[in-house]
Amino acid sequence: MRISMVSEHASPLAALGGVDAGGQNVHVAALSSALARLGHTVTVYTRRDDPGLAERVDAAPGVEVVHVTAGPARHIPKDELLPYMPELGAGIARDWAGVRPDVVHAHFWMSGLAALDAVRATDADIPVLQTFHALGTVKRRHQGADDTSPNERAWLEPWVGRNVDGVIATCSDEVFELRAMGVDARSISVAPCGVDSALFRPDGPAEERGNRARIAVVGRLVPRKGVDIAIRALAALKHAGRTDVELVIVGGSGGASDPAADPEARRMIRLADELDVADQVVVRGQVPQADLPRILRSANAVVCVPWYEPFGIVPLEAMACGVPVIAASVGGLIDTVVDGVTGIHVPPRDPEAVAEAILQIVDDPARAAELGRMGRTRSRTRYTWNRVAQTTAKVYRGILAQADPVTDLTADGGAL
Ligand code: UDP
């Protein structure tokens, strides 16, 4: 198949860890490469956010990235990109004048608008599939007035969900949210995100650390990721007389040389100071993905306790490295992390529960090793990008054949 991916803000070529560069970038890059390895041809359309970018870039064998001019050629926060979607759609349609794709897969709601525009402009019957990555309804529920999404999202996102040919959700929780949003259940398929199992593996070097046990938090530094909960858990442990655990925080817009350049990183450093655990917290800034496995392997556990999480690739990366995950029971983590088998589930926003889970893992190395081993097995059986690409290609073929969408219920949560 000739596949067009549309990813307006999240380029597969971007550096990861900044405010707007995380899982969606990884997803688009890895899914595209894996589809290409299966023999398909993939073109990824993304907005030009730097005047120096070449129009077309070969990103991987069989994967080309096309930078479409849509609005100013500089970084613009993703929530401010809506006015440029018609221009993005028109640019994509122009590119299709040569060779039309068989199928379009849009990522994030705004890309869905651009993709539907492009198909309309082409006047051809090209099916559009949509992966939302995050839903405005969920974001508004958790972030309230702090949600910077444009108001139009409230009606345009459901409109995209109803007008595309199929929606590909990444986890079972998202299916419920989509149905609540008014998306027809029959149009929804499930294909999870995956993990780079060649990079993230248990064997390989681990970063040196001191005598303290180590927990790690990895991801974009935004409040909803709940990094503060991990710091508060350290404070709870200290209160209980345990100062033998350190917390490594990876991510944010600051580089390794100046992690505190990130405002959220500064907020975390201040909090650690206030709670008197600053000497147990190491803020590392943005780390290239290739360097993450060394850090993950050095940790007794990875803590992923967001308020909500559309999918969450970091827990899979930890599992693939054989590291237990302490996970809030929200969103994609309900599917990926099996409580008591590959990690420990805790309620969201509950530092005491995180502290308790840390002790269970740190004080029982045999159990920790077993959780890690099962995590590795689960990640390899269910979440390789190869498998995700096969499921996704099946969904594309189902739509092309006008057949019922495929449901890969990766979500049964029980057996490996
Ligand atoms: N990441 C990275 N370096 C960092 C922080 C994050 O490479 O400093 C990567 C991480 O390995 C993961 C992705 O960014 O692949 C984050 O994806 P996730 O789905 O966990 O969160 P999202 O960013 O989508 O909220």
- The vertex-287 CA angle with 285 and 291, nearest 5°, equals 145
Low-confidence ranges of the chain (pLDDT < 50): 403-404, 411-415
Q: Does 85 sit in the ligand 1 pocket, CB within 6 Å?
A: no
Q: Is this complex's ipTM strictly greater than 0.90?
A: yes
Are residues 150 and 288 part of one domain? Answer: no
pLDDT for 403:
46
pLDDT for 415:
45
Bridge-based pairing of strands 41-47 and 2-7 is: parallel
- The CA 221 to ligand 1 mean position distance, Å, reads 10
Q: Does 312 sit in the ligand 1 pocket, CB within 6 Å?
A: yes
Q: Has residue 202 been placed in a domain?
A: no
**Backbone dihedral angles phi then psi of residue 63, each to the nearest 5 degrees:** -125, 120
Provide the 3-class DSSP secondary structure of residue 309.
Answer: coil
- The vertex-210 CA angle with 204 and 214, nearest 5°, equals 70
Pocket probe mutation, ligand 1, options 132, 313, 388, max atoms within 8 Å of Cβ: 313
Pocket probe mutation, ligand 1, options 220, 304, 321, 337, max atoms within 8 Å of Cβ: 220
Q: Has residue 207 been placed in a domain?
A: no
Are residues 161 and 17 part of one domain? Answer: yes
What is d(CA 270, CA 190) in angstroms, rounded to the nearest whole number? 41
The number of domains in the chain is 2
- The CA 241 to ligand 1 mean position distance, Å, reads 33
Nearest alpha carbon to residue 23 among 281, 331, 229, 294: 331
Q: Has residue 261 been placed in a domain?
A: yes
Give DSSP secondary structure letters for 38-59: TT-EEEEEEE--STTS-SEEEE
For residues 313 and 16, the answer to whether their CB atoms sit within 8 Å is no
Q: Has residue 205 been placed in a domain?
A: no
Hey, whose CA ends up nearest to atom 7 of ligand 1?
Answer: 289
- CATH number for the domain spanning 283: value is 3.40.50.2000
Are residues 151 and 25 part of one domain? Answer: yes
Sequence-distant (6+) residues with CB within 8 A of 152 are: 82
Question: What tokens appear for 414 in the block?
Answer: 């029980």
Mean of per-residue pLDDT scores for the chain: 95
Nearest alpha carbon to residue 29 among 5, 3, 56: 5
Q: Does 27 sit in the ligand 1 pocket, CB within 6 Å?
A: no
Q: Has residue 61 been placed in a domain?
A: yes
Sheet holding 213-218, edge to edge: 281-285, 245-250, 213-218, 301-304, 325-328, 343-346
**Biggest CA-to-CA distance, the chain:** 68
- The CA 402 to ligand 1 mean position distance, Å, reads 35
- The CA 101 to ligand 1 mean position distance, Å, reads 29
Q: Has residue 199 been placed in a domain?
A: no
Nearest alpha carbon to residue 170 among 199, 194, 186, 146: 194
Radius of gyration of the chain (CA): 21
For 305-355, write each residue's pLDDT tens digit: 999 999 999 999 999 999 999 999 999 999 999 999 999 999 999 999 999
pLDDT for 15:
78
Q: Has residue 200 been placed in a domain?
A: no
Are residues 232 and 176 part of one domain? Answer: no
> Domain of 111?
2-194+384-412
Are residues 304 and 393 part of one domain? Answer: no
**Backbone dihedral angles phi then psi of residue 273, each to the nearest 5 degrees:** -60, -50
Hey, whose CA ends up nearest to atom 5 of ligand 1?
Answer: 17
Q: Does 17 sit in the ligand 1 pocket, CB within 6 Å?
A: yes
pLDDT for 260:
86
Q: How many percent of the chain have pLDDT more than 90?
A: 91
Q: Has residue 142 been placed in a domain?
A: yes
Are residues 225 and 185 part of one domain? Answer: no
Pocket probe mutation, ligand 1, options 314, 317, 335, max atoms within 8 Å of Cβ: 314
- The CA 23 to ligand 1 mean position distance, Å, reads 5
